[in-house]
Homo-oligomer: A and B are copies of this chain.
Amino acid sequence: MDKNNLGTCPVDRGLMRVGDRWSMLVLRDIERGLTRYEQLRTSLGIAPNILSRRLSALTEAGLIAKTRYSQRPPRDEYLLTDAGRDFLPILMAIGAWGRKYNGGGALSQHLDVATGEVVRPVVVDANTGAPIGTRPLRMEYPD
């Protein structure tokens, strides 16, 4: 798994941490305010043992953190860390793609609170502001 500089690929690095369906859906639900175990379980329809494992993995990977929000009764919730929050835009981009290519029926969407308009996520190069794919790029490999 390392010919052609694969070990140096940042995509691979990213996927090491969140490279599965449930993890991403958990992050999405936490963002929606479903931060407790039972909320996540019923919302996702996931088996409890699987959910436990995903939550540990995401915690281990530093995307979420278990935090006590009530002493009596002692209860915890799972909140996004900075790394977890930084991952959300990617979910929005995946959502935009899913809407475009698998979008039968009515789907939920995000609105910009200030403008009231539907958010249209696009990945751009921060340097040029141009959407990725509209300008020729070249890969550079480390020594």
Contact = CB atoms under 8 A, between A and B. Distances in A.
> Is the interface on chain A under 10, 10 to 19, 20 to 34, or 35 or more residues?
35 or more
Given A90-B93, A96-B10, A107 B139 contact: no
Interface string A103-115: 1011111111111
B8 A105 contact: yes
Contacts of A138: 110-111, 113
Given A62-B101, A95-B11, A127 B123 contact: no
Interface centre among A87, A98, A131 (most CB of B within 10 A): A98
10 contacts: A3-B42, A9-B107, A10-B109, A14-B94, A32-B139, A90-B94, A112-B137, A115-B128, A121-B132, A123-B124
